[in-house]
Amino acid sequence: MAKLTKLTAVALTATLLIPTVSASAESVKDLQSKQVKLNDKKTKINKNIAAQNKKIAANEKALNKQAMQVTKLNKKIDIADDKIQITQDKIEATRHEIAELKKSIAALQKKIDERNEIIKNRARAMQEGDGKISYIDVFLGSSSFSDFIDRASAVNTIVEADEAIINEQKADKEKVEQQKAQVNDKLDGQKTRKTELVALKNSLNAQKQTKKTLIKKMELKQVKLSKQRKKLKEDYNEVLVVSSRVQKKIANEQAKAIAKAKRIAEEKAARAAAKAARAAASSAANASSVSSVASSGSLNSASASTPVKATSGTWIKPAAGRFTSGFAGRDIGAGAEYHYGIDIANSVGTPIVASADGVVFKTGPLSTYGNVVMITHNIKGKTYTSLYAHMSRVGSSAGQSVKQGQVIGYMGSTGRSTGPHVHFEIHTGSWVNQATGAVNPMQFLSQ
């Protein structure tokens, strides 16, 4: 019975190593192709949103600059208004001064008119007396010598008074003309200053209006840019919803494929076990020999096809060899960079196996990765993607369902590589690029 159990276990192990059939391969492949396009679309929209953000920021900066210039213009306009008001006050004061001066001029003019009348009377009197004052008449008309002296002094006083009146008249006229000229010059200067200030204010107001018009246009542009950004975000969210649905479909299809592959494997294992049991029952005499031969052949076959055995853990080491580089920053000659996976080195041709059950969704050359195989996994309701790079030869195809430990390719040094090794990555969700969703594989590996 123990020999039969051992034979059955060996047969089951050998059967599980047989490549499983593809389940819903075309459907998964189509969905994954659609997901890649959706991811590309999301990336493009994100770039457009980033560009739109830059435009909005630049426009906002320009708006602030224009607003600051309007503030400066407002200050200049306020200063001009103050100067205009001061000048207007001076004009009013000068006008008041002119009004007072007019009163003074009127008084002077009255004095001038009165003097003119006196001068006219003096002139008329002198004209009637041939323009001369006769001292003989003064003497003959005097009652005494003392009276003569008094009369002569009076005549001299009259003559001197006439001369004083004429001189004073002349001085007053000159003073009036001088005051008129000064006040008029002052008023003209103030009016000119006011005209200049008003022109300056009008110029500042025109500049301010131009700035306001520009600001209005920029504000409208800002609204337009914001609406465009909002539309891009709405588009992104729509794509995100579709992408999520597609991802769920992929996960469902992969789960179905894995379940189908598991069922087929179990059926094959059951048939193999039944066949082994029948063989053991009919060959009881040499069961020990058959068991030994079968065990030796099966284990040798398993060892040749899988360098790393499947375990009860979720993930396994994808190839035999030594770890040479971890999930961390490094410099391999081209400057500092981040290594989003782990490297396992061995000789060219070393088998590389699936780290967990899944469905192959991409194979072939990929940029600096060289030849790669990518596998999508559905584990406990979550989607993961594993990547195996730098293969010398790919040993699987897109859409193929694979089991943990099944050979998917062979170690090499294709792409950007410093020697034969496998570069191994694990990503949460679908693979988008090297960094997106990358996690340290060491936290998942069971050995």
Mean pLDDT of the chain: 80
Q: Is the pLDDT of residue 87 over 50?
A: yes
C-alpha span between 142 and 148 (Å, rounded): 5
Confidence of residue 156 (pLDDT cuts 50, 70, 90): low
Give the domain extent around 69: 1-305
Average pLDDT of span 160-175 = 77
Phi, psi for residue 352 in degrees, rounded to 5:
-115, 130
> ∠263-266-269 over CA atoms, to 5°?
150
Q: Is the pLDDT of residue 108 over 70?
A: yes
Same domain, 325 and 299: no
Rg (CA), the chain: 58
Task: Give burial (CB, 10 Å; 0-12/13-18/19+) of 326.
Answer: middle
Residue pair 186/172 in contact (Cβ under 8 Å)? The answer is no
Same domain, 26 and 76: yes
Phi, psi for residue 103 in degrees, rounded to 5:
-65, -45
Average pLDDT of span 75-85 = 91
C-alpha span between 18 and 269 (Å, rounded): 10
Query: Range with the lowest mean pLDDT among 22-36, 132-146, 228-242, 419-433?
Result: 132-146
* pTM attached to this predicted model: 0.40
Last residue of a domain, one of 254, 282, 305: 305
Residue pair 366/36 in contact (Cβ under 8 Å)? The answer is no
Q: Are strands 382-394 and 371-379 parallel, antiparallel or unpaired?
A: antiparallel
Q: Are strands 371-379 and 358-365 parallel, antiparallel or unpaired?
A: antiparallel
* Per-residue confidence (pLDDT) for residue 400, from 0 to 100: 94
C-alpha span between 209 and 221 (Å, rounded): 18
Q: Is the pLDDT of residue 344 over 90?
A: yes
Average pLDDT of span 225-231 = 93
Residue pair 412/290 in contact (Cβ under 8 Å)? The answer is no
Residue pair 351/306 in contact (Cβ under 8 Å)? The answer is yes
Same domain, 383 and 397: yes
Q: Is the pLDDT of residue 128 over 70?
A: no
At 266-307, the pLDDT tens digits run: 788 777 777 776 666 655 544 443 343 333 333 333 333 334
Average pLDDT of span 24-47 = 82
C-alpha span between 250 and 229 (Å, rounded): 31
C-alpha torsion angle, residues 227, 231, 233, 235 (rounded to 10)? 180
* Per-residue confidence (pLDDT) for residue 127, from 0 to 100: 53
Same domain, 171 and 315: no
* CA proximity to 439, closest of 367, 385, 371: 385
Query: Range with the lowest mean pLDDT among 182-196, 251-265, 414-428?
Result: 251-265
CATH code of the domain covering residue 331: 2.70.70.10
Same domain, 196 and 315: no
Last residue of a domain, one of 279, 305, 331: 305
* Per-residue confidence (pLDDT) for residue 441, from 0 to 100: 95
At 366-411, the pLDDT tens digits run: 989 999 999 999 998 999 999 999 999 999 999 999 999 999 999 9
24: tokens are 């819903």
- How many CA atoms lie within 13 Å of 128's alpha carbon, on the beta-carbon side? 5
Q: Who wins on pLDDT, 245 or 293?
A: 245
| Percent of the chain predicted with pLDDT > 90 | 40
Structural domains counted in the chain: 2
Same domain, 119 and 184: yes
Same domain, 299 and 315: no
* Per-residue confidence (pLDDT) for residue 421, from 0 to 100: 97
Last residue of a domain, one of 280, 305, 330: 305
Same domain, 299 and 380: no
Sole residue written with tokens 């990336």: 43
* Per-residue confidence (pLDDT) for residue 31, from 0 to 100: 84
Distance between start and end Cα atoms, the chain: 33
Same domain, 322 and 207: no
Q: Who wins on pLDDT, 352 or 24?
A: 352
Helix (H, G, I), strand (E, B) or coil at 358: strand
Same domain, 291 and 335: no
Average pLDDT of span 23-46 = 80
| Percent of the chain predicted with pLDDT > 70 | 77
Instruction: Tell me the C-alpha to C-alpha distance, in Å, between residue 288 and each of 4, 13, 211, 283.
Output: 9, 19, 101, 9
312: tokens are 């009860």
Same domain, 327 and 442: yes
> How many Cβ atoms are within 10 Å of 177's Cβ, its own excluded?
11
Say which amino acid occupies 214.
Answer: L
Same domain, 56 and 203: yes
Residue pair 291/3 in contact (Cβ under 8 Å)? The answer is yes
At 178-194, the pLDDT tens digits run: 888 888 898 899 899 89
Query: Range with the lowest mean pLDDT among 122-136, 314-328, 412-426?
Result: 122-136
